[in-house]
Amino acid sequence: MNRQIIDKKMGVGYTMQDNYYLPDLALPAEEEQPIGIWGQRHGRYLKDRHRILYYNLLTDGKLNSYLADIERQAEELFSRLVKQMAEREGVTEALKAQDQMAWIGQMNNIRNRAMEIVNNELIYA
């Protein structure tokens, strides 16, 4: 008995496993791009809350590039927000040289607020 057959009309190959012919399916090749914390969070959010979109992106081979794009957007937004908030609130290098603990406290506060904004606008939206 033939262990592999090819359907010429549909262009799909089948392989026999345990007396059943199963289609030889594979996900499309996708370029691997690094995904940081923002992309990972958004990926988990999609998988938990928007499964259809998640699996559509996955089966189309676009999930990695989509998450990498979200990562880039989130990182740019986060950096821009931190810079703008620090300038507006007067958190400068002079303050850092004068009182490091005050500078660290204010920068942590700014980073936390910027992280919250990025999460609300990009990651969990």
Q: How far apart are CA 5 and CA 119, in angstroms?
A: 50
Residues 10 and 68 in one domain: no
Helix (H) or strand (E) holding 99: none
pLDDT digits (tens, 9 = 90+) for 5-44: 776 667 778 888 888 888 887 766 777 889 999 999 999 9
Residues 40 and 81 in one domain: yes
Residues 8 and 53 in one domain: no
Domain around 18: 1-30
Residues 92 and 58 in one domain: yes
**pLDDT at res. 25:** 77
Residues 14 and 46 in one domain: no
pLDDT digits (tens, 9 = 90+) for 59-101: 888 999 999 999 999 999 999 999 999 999 999 999 999 999 9
In total, how many domains does the chain have?
2
pTM for this predicted structure? 0.77
Q: Which residues have CB under 8 Å from 51's CB, separation 6+?
A: none
Residues 87 and 62 in one domain: yes
Specify the higher pLDDT residue, 86 or 2. 86
Q: Give Dmax (Cα) for the chain.
A: 83
Residues 11 and 41 in one domain: no
Residues 68 and 112 in one domain: yes
Q: Which residues have CB under 8 Å from 16's CB, separation 6+?
A: 1, 2, 3, 4, 22
Q: How far apart are CA 125 and CA 119, in angstroms?
A: 8
**pLDDT at res. 20:** 84
Q: How far apart are CA 63 and CA 42, in angstroms?
A: 11
Token pair of 33, please?
């791009």
**pLDDT at res. 57:** 94
